[in-house]
Amino acid sequence: MNPMSMDRDEPTSLSSVSTNHPLEQFILLAKGAKGSACAELIKQVLEAPGVHVFGELLEMPNIKELETGPYATHFKTLNLFAYGTYKDYLENKPEYLELNPVQCKKLQHLTIATLATQEKCIPYSVLLEELDIKNVRDLEDLIIEAIYADIIHGKLDQECKRVEVDVALGRDARLEDAAAIADVLADWCNACETVLNSVDRHIQRANHHKQRSIRHQQTIEQEIGFIKKTLKAQAENEESASGGGSETHSAPKKNSRAVNKIRVTLRSRGSTKCEVMSQGREEES
């Protein structure tokens, strides 16, 4: 690579910059780069691994200066990677830099991300046309690389010849896209409100059924308690009735035995009237 002309106070290589995101390294370097140095910086960022958004770099004053002048092609190519697709590159090649294989593959990955925002099941036929790939084997290899690079998350459906995308990388957005994005967000908010209202109605209905079930259960428990008390009272009444009847029947039997004994005693001994009465009292006791 050609050396970049930078101010002395600025870092002279990417290895000397330590930041959390790869793009931040280039943003720091762009602060002190001018002219050809900025142009060379753009070439580096276009093939740098892990860098898939470029909006912040495009906003840098030193990069904006390249929009007109001898390095306008570099600026347009950076815009292409931020907002465009591989098909845009093929249709307007003279306006952009000649891309090397690494840069071409990155632009193809970004194109897959763009297509994934339009539909979640992308047919192979669409991908073959948009990415200018001649056979399915190369296409599937490219998709697998995009999955491993976290450009998209999904799976290949080889039977139906399509890619089923679960999540896709978010790309840079132009200012003119803000209205469309706002409309999409508004539709999403409305859909969320509809879902929340439906959930609230289901919760209210469930609470109503719960309260009704609780009241029904309380009624049943009260009825069970009443039946238990009734059965207990009936059992006590029957027990008391059976107990009183036994005493009534046993008294005459006891008295008759005592009378018979007195008669036997009178006949056998010929005792006086007082002895008979005394014996009767003893027998009764």
Instruction: Give CA–CA dist 54/47, Å, rounded.
Output: 12
- In the predicted structure, residue 280 carries a pLDDT above the cut 70: no
Is there a single domain that holds both residue 191 and residue 131? Answer: no
DSSP, res 150 = T
Res. 123: pLDDT tops 50:
yes
Residue 107: what pLDDT?
95
pLDDT of 282 higher than 70? no
Is 259 within the bounds of a domain?
A: no
3-state secondary structure of 160: coil
pLDDT (tens digit per residue) in 46-60: 998 888 989 888 888
Return phi, psi of residue 281, to 5°.
-65, -40
Tokens at 250, concatenated: 């046993």
Among the listed residues 62, 56, 151, the one whose alpha carbon sits nearest the alpha carbon of residue 108: 151
pLDDT at 100: 92
Q: How far apart are CA 7 and CA 93, in angstroms?
A: 34
253 lies in a domain?
A: no
pLDDT at 162 over 50: yes
Strands (E), the chain: 121-123, 152-157, 162-168
Same domain, 145 and 193: no
Taking phi over 0 as left and psi of -120 to 50 as alpha, with beta for the rest, 45 belongs to alpha
Mean pLDDT is highest, among 20-34, 36-50, 190-204, 270-284, for: 190-204
Q: Mean of the pLDDT values across residues 260-280?
A: 45
Coil, strand or helix: which one is 12? coil
Are residues 217 and 81 part of one domain?
A: no
Q: How confident is the model at residue 28 (pLDDT cuts 50, 70, 90)?
A: confident
Does residue 182 register a pLDDT over 80? yes
Mean pLDDT of the region 96-102: 92
- The residue segments making up the domain with residue 62 are 21-173
CB 3 within 8 A of CB 9: no
User: Are residues 66 and 202 located together in one domain of the fold?
Assistant: no
**Least confidently predicted of 85-89, 102-106, 262-266:** 262-266
Q: How many domains does the chain have?
A: 2
Q: Specify whether 135 is located in the same domain as 219.
A: no
207 and 89 within one domain: no
Check residue 284 and give its pLDDT. Answer: 47
Instruction: For residue range 221-251, list pLDDT tens digits in order.
Output: 999 989 888 888 888 888 888 765 544 444 4
Residues 70 and 164 reside in one and the same domain: yes
Cβ neighbour number for residue 193 with a 10 Å cutoff = 10
What is the bridge-based pairing of β-strands 152-157 and 121-123?
A: unpaired
- Residue 138 pLDDT: 94
Residue 92 has what DSSP assignment? Answer: T
DSSP3 helix / strand / coil % (the chain, rounded to 5):
70, 5, 25
Assess whether 182 and 163 both reside in one domain.
no
β-sheet bridge partners, residue 133: none
Alpha-carbon span 146 to 140, nearest angstrom: 10
Residues 113 and 217 in one domain: no
Q: Predicted confidence band at 38 (pLDDT cuts at 50, 70, 90)?
A: confident
What is the chain's length?
285
Tokens matching residue 7: 């101010």
